[in-house]
Amino acid sequence: MMSKMETPENPEPGPTPVCNVGEAVRGLSTEEQCLTGSEEKEENKLSVEPPIELELDPEAEDVDLNHHRLTRIEGLDCLQKVELLCLRWNQITKIENLYMLTTLQALELYDNQITVIENLNALVNLQTLDISFNRIKKIENLDGLINLKKLFLPANKISKIENIEHLVNLELLELGDNKIRKIENISNLKKLRELYLGKNKIVKLENLEDLNQLEILSVQSNRITILEGLERVTSLQQFYISDNGIQKIEGLDTLMNLETLDLAANQIKTIENLDNNTQITEFWFNDNQLEDWNQLENLKHLPVLETVYMERNPLWQNGKDPNYRRRIKLALPTLIQIDATLCR
């Protein structure tokens, strides 16, 4: 049965009409329902339970079919008012049979076996689309989704940012953990506020100059070696570029709204060029090459600095210096947190 059922406020006498998706689902034991991730996938192979039928309320606005072993999308025609359709953690291989769900605002297909983005153009009211953790190689067939605000495609096999120029209402784009090598084809996304490109193969920060409303940029775990191309992204508030090959802090002068700066796990020896970034409250600098305690003086001009991460730099001395935290606090008295621990 559905995990969430809704009925009309003034139901008519007689039985409520239902539709079912029984042909595409198999029953779950109590033990199997507790499984997630790779454990569930292994257990899936052993299940031989017979098909069951699920009854859906035609008046439901939120429909939850997560963890139901669906292999196909079908039997949803009766959903006249659905706004949220959750199909996470199933075994769906194809996006299909959704054209009648024109009221849909959010579609979740997280963790299935989908290889192609298709058959979505009729969903003109869709605002959120999540096809994370699938097997998609190309961004395509999104032409009709003119009202889309959030697009989640992490953990796929995408090698290029393309075919999204028309998504002019997009506010969030998540493409982490793919095979992307270049930031491109995003200049039309004027309303974009959050861009997540972590764990790809990107070598350069570029083509960001038209993103005037961008507030969050995450390019963690890539192959970037130079801080550049950010001069016009002046609305940026959170910048995550840990685990790259950065050797020098530079190119951040115009980012006067920056509040969180994540430079962890790079190759930086000197703290510098942050004079204009006076709104920084979070400075993450662990796992770099900082040796000189005097470098902390270059953070004193940050009046609202609250948190710093400095562990696993050479000055940390493998955690053996008993005065490590005290020295940081004396240098930066505004701090309320050092590494993962609150200051006393």
- Round to whole Å and give the CA distance between 96 and 108: 14
Q: What pTM was estimated for this model as a whole?
A: 0.86
List, in order, residues 6 or more apart from 287 with CB less than 8 Å away.
264, 265, 266, 311, 312, 313
Query: What domains are there in the chain, each with its CATH number?
Result: 225-344 (3.80.10.10)
Mean pLDDT lowest for which of 50-54, 179-183, 322-326? Answer: 50-54
Closest by Cα among 160, 162, 172, 164 to 146: 164
- Round to whole Å and give the CA distance between 33 and 57: 22
What tens digit of pLDDT does each residue of 260-308 get?
A: 999 999 999 999 999 999 999 999 999 999 999 999 999 999 999 999 9
**Is the model's pLDDT at 9 over the cut of 50?**
no
Q: Which residue has the tokens 């299940």?
A: 47
Q: Where are the beta strands (DSSP E) in the chain?
A: 19-20, 55-56, 62-64, 84-86, 106-108, 128-130, 150-152, 172-174, 194-196, 216-218, 238-240, 260-262, 282-284, 307-309, 337-338, 341-342
- Round to whole Å and give the CA distance between 223 and 244: 5
User: Do the Cβ atoms of 180 and 157 come closer than 8 Å?
Assistant: no
Mean pLDDT lowest for which of 15-24, 125-134, 191-200, 265-274? Answer: 15-24
pLDDT band of residue 53 (cuts 50, 70, 90) is low
What tens digit of pLDDT does each residue of 19-28 get?
A: 666 544 443 4
- Round to whole Å and give the CA distance between 109 and 115: 12
| DSSP annotation string for 10-52 | SPPSSPPP-EE-GGG-B---HHHHT--HHHHHHHHTT--PPB-
List, in order, residues 6 or more apart from 114 with CB less than 8 Å away.
92, 93, 94, 95, 131, 134, 135, 136
